[in-house]
């Protein structure tokens, strides 16, 4: 009788996969923000974005970056890639919800924007994980 052993769990690799995805989202998002501020598409740092189109632009690339970051986390995961992608999504949800509370209190722009970030975190993570699964399948 032959038994197949499951691969050992690797907390450092799992943590690294999620952190790599999170770092990718942060770097891409803040890098794009900086470029748009430098090109005067966005108002200077610290000033609210009052124009809804600018917030929609920011939301659109953050959605794409959320999917890419979750795909990266899934790809680097030692096992359970969708789980890693969804953990990243849960972290994004918590950070976005905290950001929404802070942004609404300080009036940094339209309230729908940070709320939309929070609401899209888990769907983006699922999509990133699903894209990885489709690619691997």
The pLDDT of residue 135: 87
DSSP, collapsed to helix, strand or coil, labels residue 136 as helix
The pLDDT of residue 134: 94
Where in the chain are the domains? 12-136
What is the DSSP code string of 78-134? SS-HHHHHHHHHHHHHHHHHHHHHHHHHHT-S-THHHHHHHHHHHHHHHHHHHHHHH
Assign 2 a pLDDT band (cuts: 50, 70, 90). low
Assign 10 a pLDDT band (cuts: 50, 70, 90). confident
Share of the chain above pLDDT 90, in %: 77
Q: What is the pLDDT of residues 74-132, one digit of tens each?
A: 999 999 999 999 999 999 999 999 999 988 888 778 889 999 999 999 999 999 999 99
Distance CA 91, CA 24 (A): 14
CA distances from 69 to 7, 13, 36, 92, 121 (A): 24, 16, 21, 11, 11
pTM for this one?
0.89
Do the Cβ atoms of 17 and 78 come closer than 8 Å?
Answer: yes
Lowest mean pLDDT among 2-11, 39-48, 60-69: 2-11
Which tokens hold the place of 31?
A: 């890098």
CA distances from 7 to 2, 4, 19, 38, 78 (A): 16, 9, 21, 48, 9
């Amino acid at each position: 009788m032959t038994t197949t052993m499951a691969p050992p769990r690797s907390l450092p690799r799992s943590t690294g996969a999620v952190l790599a995805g999170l770092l990718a989202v942060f770097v891409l998002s803040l890098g794009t923000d900086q470029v748009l501020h430098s090109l005067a598409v966005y108002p200077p740092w610290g000033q609210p974005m009052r124009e809804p189109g600018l917030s929609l632009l920011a939301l659109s690339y953050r959605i794409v970056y959320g999917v890419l970051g979750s795909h990266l986390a899934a790809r680097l995961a030692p096992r359970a890639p969708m789980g890693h992608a969804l953990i990243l999504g849960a972290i994004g949800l918590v950070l976005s919800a905290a950001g929404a509370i802070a942004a609404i209190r300080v009036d940094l722009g339209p309230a729908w924007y940070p709320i939309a970030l929070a609401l899209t975190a888990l769907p983006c993570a699922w999509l990133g994980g699903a894209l990885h699964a489709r690619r691997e399948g």
